[in-house]
Amino acid sequence: MGKNTAVAGFSTHLNTERDALKAFITLLEAEQQALVNGKIEQLLGLVDNKIQSAQELNKLELVRQGILRALEAPAEPNDIEAWLGDHARDSLPAWLDTQRLAAQAKEINRANGMLIQTRLRNNQQALTTLHNAANSASGLYGPDGQPHIPSSGRTLGSV
């Protein structure tokens, strides 16, 4: 395969990777809305799609790295940008979009992680409160299930 063909293949690959990142961001945004709105059932439906999309992105990255090696191009993002400017200027917009979308996906994923942690913390606090309330209320009912108010040893009206 000639170098020009490989560069064209790289350009096509960048477009594929960019589209996959857009799809992943759509999933992350749907996840974020479900978290914000407390729609846990929607989260369950998104998990498999998110995992598959992340796996696809990993595969695309490996392919990109292989193409860059075959082109004897640098592997670092900033170096790739300069290399594209010299060897494949038409691919530069797709590369910059890919980098921007990857940063956006990372930020949304970070925010979603924070939302999950907040929800988890709130749920743990609610469970602790319920558990404590159940333990303190256990003395309010007798073995027969009837209300039983513990007495302090004094009868009502006595001093």
The count of domains in the chain is 1
Q: Is position 135 within any domain?
A: no
Write the pLDDT tens digit of every residue in 7-46.
778 889 999 999 999 999 999 999 999 999 989 889 988 9
What is the per-residue pLDDT across 34-77, written as a single tens digit (0 to 9) for each?
999 989 889 988 999 999 999 999 999 999 999 999 889 998 88
Would you give the end-to-end CA distance of the chain in angstroms? Answer: 102
What range defines the domain where residue 64 resides? 3-130
CATH number, domain with residue 74: 1.20.58.300
Measured CA to CA in angstroms, residue 132 lies from 1, 115, 135 at distances of: 70, 26, 5
In a domain, 97, yes or no: yes
pLDDT surpasses 70 at 149: no
92: tokens are 């530069």
In a domain, 141, yes or no: no
Between CA 77 and CA 96 the distance in angstroms is 10
Q: Which residue is associated with the tokens 């990142």?
A: 21
Handedness of CA 91, 77, 7, 88 (dihedral sign): positive
Q: Is 126 part of a structural domain of the chain?
A: yes
pTM: 0.77
Is 140 a domain residue? no
Q: Is residue 125 part of a domain?
A: yes
90 occurs within a structural domain: yes
3-class DSSP state of 20: helix
Lowest mean pLDDT among 73-87, 90-104, 123-137: 123-137
